[in-house]
């Protein structure tokens, strides 16, 4: 399956607001998101490892106030932005589900896989 455009690369700023995109998992609609950390884009399924709820406290707001960790707005679980591994909170030992992402030609694309697919029309 071909990569799918998420957004212009400039829409995702270092440690700032992320961009959500529609996905499907196991036949259910959901969202993924892409953020920029240490100069590179990282994408994950927008689902906390602790409970199956979205992380962002306002659309696209995934980083905690210091811009060092991704944070679940509901339970305060924090994740390393570059690995998705839980760094503290109720998700200890868990991790976010990564989504392959590539930045080229000043755009960011995500790559569907066997679990995270494009939504059905």
SS3 117: strand
pLDDT digits (tens, 9 = 90+) for 47-77: 999 888 999 989 999 999 888 999 999 988 9
Q: Please state the length of the chain.
A: 121
pLDDT digits (tens, 9 = 90+) for 27-49: 899 999 999 999 999 999 999 99
How many domains are contained in the chain?
Answer: 1
CATH number at residue 58: 2.102.10.10
DSSP 118: P
Look up the pTM and report it: 0.95
Residue 61: give the domain boundaries: 4-117
Q: Which 3-state string (H, E, C) describes 22-42?
A: EEEECCEEEEEEEEEECCEEE
């Amino acid at each position: 399956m071909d990569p799918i455009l998420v957004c212009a690369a400039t829409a995702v700023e270092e440690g700032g607001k992320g961009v959500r995109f529609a996905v499907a998992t196991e036949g259910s609609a959901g969202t993924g998101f892409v953020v920029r950390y240490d100069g590179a884009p990282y994408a994950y399924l927008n689902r906390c490892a602790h409970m199956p709820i979205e992380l962002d406290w306002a659309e696209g707001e995934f980083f905690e106030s210091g811009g060092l960790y991704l944070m679940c707005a509901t339970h305060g679980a924090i994740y390393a932005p570059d690995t998705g591994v839980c760094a503290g909170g109720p998700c200890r030992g868990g991790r976010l589900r990564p989504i392959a992402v590539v930045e080229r030609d000043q755009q960011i694309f995500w790559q569907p896989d066997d679990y995270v697919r494009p939504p059905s029309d």
